[in-house]
Amino acid sequence: MAVARNLLGARLVRVIGEERRSGRIVETEAYRPGDPASHAFRGETSRNRSMFGRPGLAYVYFTYGSCHCVNVVCEPEGVGAAVLIRALAPEEGAAGMARARGRESDLASGPGRLCQALEIDRRLDGVDLLASDVLYLAAGDPVRDSQVASTPRIGISRARDLPWRFAVAGDPHLSRRARSHATA
């Protein structure tokens, strides 16, 4: 999907009081209407409600008892589609991310990790990523087509064959599963 590909290189910025933490998006994954792997597939629930909101909103969910993940809603209101942000290359506020993560490496190289590093949880579900001043998207360095790897999605059991995962080829900050998975 176009939005997932075009988010590569953009920045995700988190402001916590006086502190700024940000990173360049290096890995995304698209979840579209009619997609059996999408949280929206079985209709609207209290958890996925914001996925059906207007484009640019954040959909933040909690899973596996311990991990949050952020998505960017990208279809008109009522449709139910989003792009999962899977990995960031840390830029501003790496020290704060390390504090939040309790480690110095792999600060944002995974969908759950980046939420921990940026202190994103369900309280940020539904914020407008194009207007908020606590969590928002900003322009970054565009990524050339020659650097983009488009491959099957990871971490799901249904519709695995759809090539809707996008990554900056060879980037050192890709998610663990992207690294063990062939990234061609």
Partner DNA sequence: AAGCCGATCTTCT
Partner DNA sequence: GAAGATCGGCTTG
Residue 98 is a binding residue for DNA (CB under 7 A): no
Task: Give exposure, 69-87, as e/b (b: 16+ Cβ within 10 Å).
Answer: bbbbbbbeeebbbbbbbbb
Residue 112 or 148: the one with the smaller Cβ distance to DNA is 112
C-alpha to C-alpha distance for 32 and 20, rounded to whole angstroms: 31
Contact between 50 and DNA per CB under 7 A:
no
Residue 53 in 3-state DSSP? coil
Q: Is 67 in the site for DNA (CB under 7 A)?
A: yes
Among 17, 65, 78, 172, contact with DNA (rule: CB under 7 A): 65
With CA atoms as reference, report the closest residue to 150 among 9, 25, 2, 5: 5
**Contact call for residue 84 and DNA (CB under 7 A):** yes
Residue from 77, 158, 163, 170 touching DNA (CB under 7 A): that is: 158
Residue placing its CB nearer to DNA in the complex, 22 or 38:
38
